[in-house]
């Protein structure tokens, strides 16, 4: 899940050769789950068609105040467009349009939208080398930046003229990354390192069979994606799970056994700010797993088990600056057992759920949880989608920071 999810991006396209890249830029923004609308200068239509950008954005493309071919056409309200946007992104931004922005010239719909916008404005210059270096252009940059606009630096490379130098519009992937990073700066978990464990662990009986549980890993994955969306640097240590991460900013480490999960946690734990241990780690493992598949030779099979490493207990014993969160899945005496685990593991917060609650627990898209903190506060929640539970968990943690 990108920080762009749900954000309203108004893309302004001006008449530069780099306008051909805006088709891919729109595609990337939509793929990041942003809502995208496009405003073009009239001359920009010579470089990329409104139909292309309309199809990709799934919204009407605006280029004039009215449809001149329809005398009954509705006026395109530039003020409404400016107020709709969470971010106005002008890419490519030509020297001509930038100069007009700097001096307040308003001779097309895009410039009217710019002057009406209340949101942050980001612009990606695109022009030839000599134009880019010209003192008037540099003055334009200074003026626009002084207004509070944010420049997405032009790249160094081959230009349309054949010259090589600065002035090339940043690539669409770079623009999206710049926008994501800009948005992340104001997020509540920006600069925080978060370690999350998720899923089951499988402890081998032989090369075919294992000791494990029914955890899907969904709760941990939703927490990881939410933490990343809030600006955190997230490492997710996941046991076997079929779930696919939607947020590419999450560092995913896949493991199988409790020993492998413990090694991964150990290697990251010292540097983290928040640890959320949502994995359902197997409590026991076979002492001597068979190297070959065990054949069915009798009516019973005895397997000796030993305890696995108590990962959460170790984390609690090593806790320094970390805010540590554990989970408790109980079937009886739920509250008392969860409180004992909170104290024994030296946790800051424990999240209790009960298999007796319908819709909670493993293999479910929902969960019903109760928060218990180290001061004894108990906060129950109603049954919710696990994505909503992840929001509740991280909102609570943020308030404690």
Buried b (16+ CB within 10 A) or exposed e, 114-150: bebbebbbbbbbbbbbebbeeeebeebbeebeeeebe
Cα 94 to the chain's mean position, in Å?
A: 31
8 Å CB contact between 102 and 112:
no
Confidence band of 354 (pLDDT split at 50, 70, 90): confident
Cα 322 to the chain's mean position, in Å?
A: 22
pTM: 0.73
Q: What is the pLDDT of residues 286-296, one digit of tens each?
A: 999 999 999 98
| Mean pLDDT value across residues 75-88 | 85
With a pLDDT cut of 90, the percent of the chain lying above it is: 76
- Report the range of poorest mean pLDDT among 150-164, 256-270, 325-339: 150-164
| Mean pLDDT value across residues 126-142 | 93
Q: What is the pLDDT of residues 177-227, one digit of tens each?
A: 999 989 888 889 999 999 999 999 999 999 999 999 889 999 999 999 999
- Report the range of poorest mean pLDDT among 35-44, 264-273, 326-335, 389-398: 326-335
d(CA 132, CA 15): 16
Confidence band of 301 (pLDDT split at 50, 70, 90): confident
Assess whether pLDDT exceeds 60 at residue 72.
no
pLDDT of residue 358: 72
d(CA 360, CA 340): 21
d(CA 95, CA 106): 15
Assess whether pLDDT exceeds 60 at residue 401.
yes
Assess whether pLDDT exceeds 90 at residue 9.
yes
- Distance (Å) of CA 255 to CA 196, 239, 260, 262, 397: 13, 5, 6, 9, 26
Cite the beta strand spans of 27-173 per DSSP E. Answer: 35-40, 61-62, 87-93, 121-125, 150-151, 155-158, 164-168
Q: What is the pLDDT of residues 22-46, one digit of tens each?
A: 999 999 999 999 999 999 999 999 9
Within a 10 A sphere around the Cβ of 288, how many other Cβ atoms?
A: 9
pLDDT of residue 245: 87
Active site positions, annotated: 213
Q: Are strands 370-373 and 349-354 parallel, antiparallel or unpaired?
A: antiparallel
8 Å CB contact between 355 and 361:
yes
For the chain, list the domains and their CATH numbers.
8-184 (3.40.50.1950), 193-291+300-400 (3.40.50.10300)
pLDDT of residue 296: 87
Confidence band of 11 (pLDDT split at 50, 70, 90): very high
As a dihedral over the C-alpha atoms of residue 193, residue 199, residue 200, residue 201, rounded to 10 degrees, the angle is -40
Assess whether pLDDT exceeds 70 at residue 149.
yes
8 Å CB contact between 17 and 160:
yes
pLDDT of residue 75: 61
Confidence band of 359 (pLDDT split at 50, 70, 90): low
φ, ψ (nearest 5 deg) of residue 357: -90, 120
Assess whether pLDDT exceeds 80 at residue 241.
yes
d(CA 180, CA 312): 33
Of the candidates 227, 215, 365, the one whose C-alpha atom is nearest the C-alpha of residue 281 is: 215
> Which H or E run includes 326?
strand 323-330
pLDDT of residue 79: 80
């Amino acid at each position: 899940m990108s920080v762009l999810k749900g954000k309203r991006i108004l893309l302004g396209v001006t008449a530069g050769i780099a306008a051909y890249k805006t088709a891919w830029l729109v595609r990337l923004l939509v793929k990041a789950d942003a809502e995208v609308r496009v405003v073009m200068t009239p001359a920009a239509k010579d470089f990329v068609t409104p139909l292309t950008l309309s199809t990709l954005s799934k919204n009407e493309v605006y280029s004039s105040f009215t449809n001149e071919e329809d005398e009954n056409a509705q006026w395109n309200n530039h003020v409404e467009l400016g107020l709709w946007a969470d971010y106005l992104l002008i890419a490519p931004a030509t020297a001509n349009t930038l100069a007009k922005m700097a001096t307040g010239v308003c001779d097309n719909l895009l410039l009217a939208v710019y002057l009406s916008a209340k949101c942050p404005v980001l612009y990606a210059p695109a022009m030839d080398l000599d134009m880019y270096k010209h003192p008037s252009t540099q003055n334009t940059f200074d003026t626009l930046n002084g207004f509070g606009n944010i420049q997405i630096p032009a790249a160094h490379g081959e230009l349309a003229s054949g010259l090589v130098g600065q002035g090339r519009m940043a690539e669409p992937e770079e623009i999206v990354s710049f926008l994501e990073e800009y948005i992340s700066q104001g997020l509540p978990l920006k600069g925080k390192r978060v370690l999350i464990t998720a899923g089951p662990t499988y402890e081998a009986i032989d090369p075919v069979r294992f000791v494990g549980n029914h955890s899907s890993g969904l709760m941990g994955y939703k927490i990881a994606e939410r933490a990343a969306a809030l600006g955190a640097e997230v490492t997710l240590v996941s046991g076997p799970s079929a779930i696919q991460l939607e947020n590419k900013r999450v560092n995913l480490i896949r493991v199988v056994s409790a020993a492998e999960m413990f090694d991964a946690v150990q290697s990251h734990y010292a540097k983290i700010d928040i640890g959320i241990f949502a994995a359902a780690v197997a409590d026991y493992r076979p002492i001597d797993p068979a190297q070959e598949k065990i054949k069915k030779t009798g009516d019973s099979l005895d397997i000796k088990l030993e305890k696995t490493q108590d990962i959460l207990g170790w984390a609690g014993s090593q806790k320094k600056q970390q805010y540590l969160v554990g989970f408790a899945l109980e079937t009886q005496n739920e509250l008392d057992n969860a409180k004992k685990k909170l104290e024994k593991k030296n946790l800051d917060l424990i999240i209790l759920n009960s298999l007796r609650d319908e819709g909670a627990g493993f293999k479910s898209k929902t969960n019903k949880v109760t928060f218990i903190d180290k001061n004894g506060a108990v906060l129950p929640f109603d049954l919710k989608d696990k994505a909503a539970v992840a929001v509740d968990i991280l909102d609570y943690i943020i308030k404690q920071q």
